[in-house]
Structure 1
Amino acid sequence: MPEIMRLAFKYKLRPTRKQEQAMRNFSGCCRFAYNALLAQEKEEYQEYLEELESRLCWGEALSKDEVKALCVKPKLNQYTFNYALKKLKEEYPFLKEYCHSQVLQQKVMDLYEAFKKFFKGNGGYPKFKKRHSDDGFRYPQGFKVEEDNGRIFLPKIGYVRYRNSRKIEGIPKNVTVRQEADGWYASIQCEFELNNH
């Protein structure tokens, strides 16, 4: 059975001013959604820790199962995060207006994964995203790469030209768009089979 590998191909984008503004809007919306949901979760986690401390300080007679349940934060659920994003979009309509829904969902998925790592003891508590150091977004699907024309289609942004510095190999699976010091870049993650012959 062939082994499946993933490899990223990075290209410098050549967006128009309008496209660049749209990319900045996408990044800002993603950062806003991530930080808003992180603030909500942080508040809930703080309340949970205070309740735990209060019950332990008052020396309530708790069974072993109750102590165990109290000492482990309730399992995070991906759907809870998606629901929280839905409510956030209702409260802040600009998120719908200026950003693609899949891009926001991907950013919320990043937050969910960060919390999963934290509660498993594999990482620190998630940190708030800062402007300029965290300017980027990801499409899991819906984008199209036209290598012959040197352009990539990004939903809700349009066809963006890129410097075709090397040929893409494999099947494009997702694309991450990120701003760096010298401009915007697209990193296209591709999947291909390794033939072990």
Structure 2
Amino acid sequence: MRRFAGACRFVFNRALARQNENHEAGNKYIPYGKMASWLVEWKNATETQWLKDSPSQPLQQSLKDLERAYKNFFRKRAAFPRFKKRGQNDAFRYPQGVKLDQENSRIFLPKLGWMRYRKAVRSRVL
């Protein structure tokens, strides 16, 4: 799972770097549709073949996160998007394809299979 989170961070940072290069060249913001085509290029490139080991949906979601960050920046809701650092809020999400077995505390994630999860124990402070 850390590998998937790392792949999502890599895609986000690489797309952000391309957006910054594009902006410095005096061009406009590149929308998600074009960024998604970059993802296909990166998966087919020999130096980033390891991206094929990660499911496509979380990688696409990281590009959508970047698009949302830019939209929030343009609407003056947030600061300019920053590069993501390893170990800080590492996360990825699946928009679909997840199965949940609550009786056995298991979850199915594509390319990972069935995994156990643990529920947080709630306690009260008296």
TM-score w.r.t. the length of structure 2 is 0.86
Structure 1 position 31 matched with structure 2 position 31: no
Tell me the equivalent position of 2:25.
47
Q: How much does 1:76 deviate? A: 4.2
Counterpart Cα distance in 1 of 2:31 and 2:43:
19
Tell me the equivalent position of 1:108: 63
Map Cα deviations across residues 72-116 of structure 1 (whole Å, 9 max, x no partner): x7464221121122222222111012x110010011110111111
1:188 corresponding residue in structure 2: none
Q: When you count helix as a share of all residues, which structure comes out higher? A: 2
Q: Gapped runs of 5+ residues in structure 1? A: 1-22, 49-72, 167-197
Which of 94, 103, 118 is matched with 1:139 structurally?
A: 94
Distance 2:80 2:43 in 1: 25
Gaps of 5+ in 2: 122-126
Match of 2:85 in 1: 130
TM-aligned CA deviation for residue 29 of structure 1: 0.6
Q: What percent of counterpart residues are identical?
A: 42
- Tell me if structure 1 keeps the 8 A contact 2:19–2:30: no
Does structure 2 conserve the Cα–Cα contact (< 8 Å) formed by 1:147 and 1:164? Answer: no
- Aligned residue for 1:176? none
- Going from structure 1 to structure 2, the CA distance change for 1:124 and 1:160 (only over 3 Å counts) comes to same
The TM-score normalised by the length of structure 1 is 0.57
Tell me what 1:79 maps to.
33
Contact conserved, 1:153 with 1:159, CA < 8 A, in 2?
A: yes
Aligned-partner SS, 2:82: coil
Larger proportion of strand: 1
**CA offset digits 1:8-60 (Å, max 9, x no partner):** xxxxxxxxxxxxxxx01101111111111100100111111xxxxxxxxxxxx
CA-based RMSD:
1.7
- Give aligned pairs, total: 119
Q: Flag the structure with more relative contact order, 1 or 2, with Cα contacts below 8 A and sequence separation at least 6.
A: 1
Q: Secondary structure at the residue paired with 1:137? A: coil
**Structure whose CA Rg is larger:** 1
The equivalent residue for 1:94 is 50
Could you say if the C-alpha distance between residues 74 and 39 of structure 1 is closer, same or farther in structure 2, counting changes exceeding 3 Å?
A: closer
